[in-house]
Amino acid sequence: MQGISAKIISRAKELMRDGTVNKVVGWKAGEFFYDCEPYVFETEESLDGLVYNRFCAANLSKYMIKNSIATGEDSLKVLVLLKPCDTYSFNQLLTEHRIVRENVYILGVGCEGMCDIDRIRENGFKGITGIGENADGKTLTVRTLYGDGEVVIDDVLVNKCEFCKGKAHKIYDELISDNEDEGPRGDRFAGVRDIEAMSPGERFAFWKGELSKCIRCNACRNACPACSCRKCVFDNNASGIASKANTDSFEEKMFHIIRAFHVAGRCTDCGECSRVCPQGIPLHLFNRKYIKDINEFYGDYAAGEEAGQRGPLISYTEGDIEPAAVSDKGGK
């Protein structure tokens, strides 16, 4: 991935120089090798700070809501770097009229899977100071204050990458990629089936354990490209349900369940919710459950596959499943 990083920088600079774009939304190198920050580059020189490595998991699509809407500038053309999975979110936002397409230049970038620094830490590494990709292409050397070690890349992938949707960009103006599309990786619904197989009591206990860790920081909501309401009902003090409290009561579970329902049919399974959760709650499982149900009820559907598509939940056909199907499933 280091190779295309240099190509990305030089191409972005070129596009800025020739006036095609005047801003670049990408990832900026941080304090450490892994804390790449979403960043708006406004000058050619600043692009030297752009980075594209194994730790650029953040999905930049949602930033294009605010960055594609001109505010007082005569001409706005913003380049955004999108990985294949990010393009689904971008398309979905286009479908929802939240991004001004003509102000955006999409530079699609190839991806070999992103690593999760927390999962590397879970492998027992502390004081991580550096990382090196080994020649075998399958392992990383982890350098730490307490000695070096090795991890298998597949063991430390971000959850969304463990179940990669495929290496094909669904929308772009230009591509920089060395990756062949090999289709989806793994069975992303396996985790959902495990939960469906639980008894209602086990299922309740599982989610109670996970959701009672919630600190109600709203990172999941704020990172979620499908959560793009200008004012969230939970932030609206006049709504009567605004709440900042984390409680072990059922209310906390309701927040996550309501949110999952609200994004059902629009969630592209980009995995940001689980990636950003400081408590490691597997929130993506809610979304995958609804995606799986939608697929089973209405036929396979992928939100964000194309811009402008009408999802099954907002298009009626006479063949639509009857609500009774839910109770026939025995609560699963």
Binding flag, residue 127, another protein (CB under 8 A): yes
Cα–Cα distance measured from residue 37 to residue 46, given in angstroms and rounded to the nearest whole number: 14
Cα–Cα distance measured from residue 126 to residue 146, given in angstroms and rounded to the nearest whole number: 7
| Closest to another protein by CB, 38 or 311 | 38
Q: How far is the CB of 322 from another protein (least distance, A)?
A: 34
User: Which range of residues in 72-80, 103-111, 205-213, 256-264 is near another protein by CB under 8 A?
Assistant: 205-213
DSSP codes, 237-287: TTSS-------SSHHHHHHHHHHHHHHTTT-----HHHHH-TT---THHHH
Binding flag, residue 147, another protein (CB under 8 A): no
Q: 117: Cβ–Cβ under 8 A, 6 or more apart, which residues?
A: 34, 35, 55, 128
| Number of helices and strands in the chain (H, E) | 12, 8
Binding flag, residue 216, another protein (CB under 8 A): yes
- Residue 38 · residue 57 · CB < 8 Å: no
| Closest to another protein by CB, 161 or 294 | 161
Binding flag, residue 231, another protein (CB under 8 A): yes
Amino acid at position 31, single letter? E
Binding flag, residue 194, another protein (CB under 8 A): no
Q: In sequence order, what E strands does 47-199 have?
A: 78-82, 104-109, 128-133, 139-144, 147-152, 174-176
Q: Which of 101, 213, 262, 332 binds another protein (CB under 8 A)?
A: 213
DSSP codes, 176-205: E--PPP----S-TTHHHHHHHTS-HHHHHH
Structure tokens at 32: 């450490």
Please give the residues from 261 up to 320 whose contact with another protein meets the rule CB under 8 A: 272, 275-276, 278-281
Q: How far is the CB of 66 from another protein (least distance, A)?
A: 9
Q: What x-and-dash track marks residues 47-66 binding another protein by CB under 8 A? A: -----------x----x---
Q: How far is the CB of 211 from another protein (least distance, A)?
A: 9
Q: Which of 40, 65, 257, 307 binds another protein (CB under 8 A)?
A: 40
Binding flag, residue 223, another protein (CB under 8 A): yes
- Parallel, antiparallel, or unpaired: how do β-strands 128-133 and 139-144 relate? antiparallel
Q: Footprint of another protein on this chain (CB under 8 A)?
A: 30-32, 35-40, 58, 63, 118, 126-129, 144-146, 209-210, 212-213, 215-219, 221-223, 231, 235, 237, 242-247, 272, 275-276, 278-281
